[in-house]
Structures are given as C-alpha cells and as structure tokens.
C-alpha cells in the first residue's frame, strides 16, 4: 500500500508542505496511466521536494488503474485515491464502489463532488455529504470539490462557494481531534479553459473557504487546493492563498507535472532549485 499523505494544518503560506493532487478523469487508459505512474515514481523518488517533506503528492487514477498505480508508486510517498465512492460500504448496490474496498486495494484518498459528477450524474449536496461521511468512515482523506458555476464578482463567488462547502459538510460527525479534509476550489467556469482563474479572484474565494474550515470544530487539519485549468505558473500566482494545486490535464504529461513539482520546491526552498 502506498503511504498516506495527510494534509497539513490549515493556514496560508509559511513553511508548511505544498499539496499537489492529480486527477486523470477518464483521459488515459489503464496502460498509459500506469506508465505515467512509473515515470513519475522515478522522478519523485529522489526529488528533494518530496524527500524533504516540502511537497505532498496524491494521484487519482480511473478505478481499473488503481492497483497498477499503487504498485508503481510503492515506496515513493505518493498517495493514491479514487475519483468517486459510494455512500454505503455493503449491500445491493449494483456498480457501486465501496470505500472499504478502496482502502483495501491501497487508496488513501477519495474525490467527492467534482463538477462533472454534479452535472452528468445529478449528485447534489445531500448525496455528496453522505459520500463525505463514507470516505472518513473508511479512513480515506476526502478531496472535496467546490466552486461556483458562473463567474461573478469575487465576493459573490466566495459566498456561494462557502455556502456549498457548509451544505456538504452539514452532517459531518464530531471527531476527537477533528477530521482531515482537503478542499479543492474549482470554479466550474474555469474547468477545461486555457487559463486558470485570476489570482485575486481565486484568493478571495479561498479566504472565504478557509474561514469556514477554521470555524468548524469538527475539522482538524485541512488544506485548500486550487483547481480549474491549474498549470505551471498557477502555484506561484497563488502562493499567498492556496495550499497547493489540484491538477488535471496539464499534469497528464509527466514533464509538465515535473515543472509544477520543481515550482513547488522553488517556493518552499529556493536553495534547492533543481535546474
């Protein structure tokens, strides 16, 4: 099983580790995904950002690719997760995927609430809240996606996105020490576009999300990542507000993913620039 990489305590900036996640959606087939993992494993095994704990990494392959990716990333410190899970662990639920089984096959993360799950599969805040509880129940760190549908002014976007976060976490149970949670802020209007959201706009929304997390005593450690056409350069632009990035298609090329990893290292320890 790959090592779990729990998120660091909530706060912006400072020397805390940067968190980088990669989702493959359904872009790559199984063989291509495993090959990506093998290539990245070689790159990160001795990378100073990962070895020194300056950067924490997780990847979310398609379901059939998970075992191969777990094997490829063994011993690298990179966590593996699923792009979805069901809210029950056992029962007459044809086609559903149990969080308990995901944990058994080596997952330590579970993505919940991506915009495509909402739009294509009709998932609402109630369903996502049940999936959130299921992930935590099975020892999986949730990667909870939130974001406004339409671009507006930053303050309106911050209110809408904070309300979405509160709705999904409404039935979160109490926990000694609080639950670990990763929130991926992905403005839905920016997904699939050429550029990420403006840093000031995204920073305003992230600040609102952080306020919600810090005021909820049920949540222990948390990280807020920016997604939505995140790419090389985005991390530097958001270095004062985001705790990391949730990467999609721009990281499916291992070389471009390496650029983001090097960028994270330069932000955390400029003396250890790799090139």
Is 114 annotated as catalytic?
yes
Strand 219-226 vs strand 109-112: parallel, antiparallel, or unpaired?
unpaired
Instruction: Determine the pLDDT at residue 5.
Output: 42
Break the chain into its structural domains and give their ranges. 18-272
Catalytic residue among 123, 160, 164, 186: 186
Per residue in 173-193, pLDDT (tens digit) is 999 889 999 999 999 999 989
Architecture of the domain delimited by 18-272:
Alpha-Beta Barrel (3.20)
Which residue in 114, 123, 148, 164 is the catalytic one?
A: 114
pTM over 0.75: yes
Give pLDDT, residue 51.
86
Where is average pLDDT lowest: 6-10, 11-15, 207-211, 238-242? 6-10
Report the chain's mean pLDDT, rounded to a whole number: 92
pLDDT at 11 over 60: no
Q: Is position 116 annotated as part of the catalytic site?
A: no
What percent of the chain stands above pLDDT 90? 87
Angle at 90 between CA 70 and CA 129, to 5 degrees: 80
């Amino acid at each position: 099983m790959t090592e779990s990489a729990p998120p660091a305590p909530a706060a912006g900036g400072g020397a805390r580790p940067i968190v980088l996640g990669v989702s493959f959606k359904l872009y790559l087939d199984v063989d291509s995904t495993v090959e990506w993992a093998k290539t990245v494993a070689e790159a990160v095994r001795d990378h100073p950002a990962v070895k020194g704990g300056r950067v924490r990494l997780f990847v979310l392959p398609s379901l059939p690719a998970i075992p191969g990716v777990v094997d490829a990333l063994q011993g690298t410190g990179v966590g593996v997760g699923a792009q979805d899970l069901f809210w029950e662990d056992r029962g007459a639920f044809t086609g559903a995927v149990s969080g308990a089984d995901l944990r058994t096959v080596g997952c330590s993360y579970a993505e919940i609430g991506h915009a495509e799950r909402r739009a294509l599969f009709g998932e609402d805040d109630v369903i996502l809240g049940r999936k959130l509880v299921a992930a935590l129940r099975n020892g999986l760190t949730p990667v909870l996606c939130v974001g406004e549908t339409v671009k507006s002014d930053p303050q309106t976007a911050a209110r809408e996105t904070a309300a979405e976060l509160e709705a999904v976490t409404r039935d979160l149970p109490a926990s000694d020490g609080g639950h670990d949670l990763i929130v991926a802020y992905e403005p839905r209007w920016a997904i699939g576009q050429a550029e990420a959201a403006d840093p000031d706009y995204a920073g305003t929304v992230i600040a609102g999300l952080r306020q919600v997390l810090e005021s909820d005593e049920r949540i222990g450690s948390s990280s807020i990542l920016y997604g939505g056409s995140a790419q090389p350069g985005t991390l530097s632009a958001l270095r004062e507000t985001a705790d990391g990035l949730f990467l999609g298609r721009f990281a499916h090329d291992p070389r471009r993913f390496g650029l983001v990893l090097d960028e994270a290292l330069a932000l955390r320890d400029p003396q250890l620039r790799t090139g």
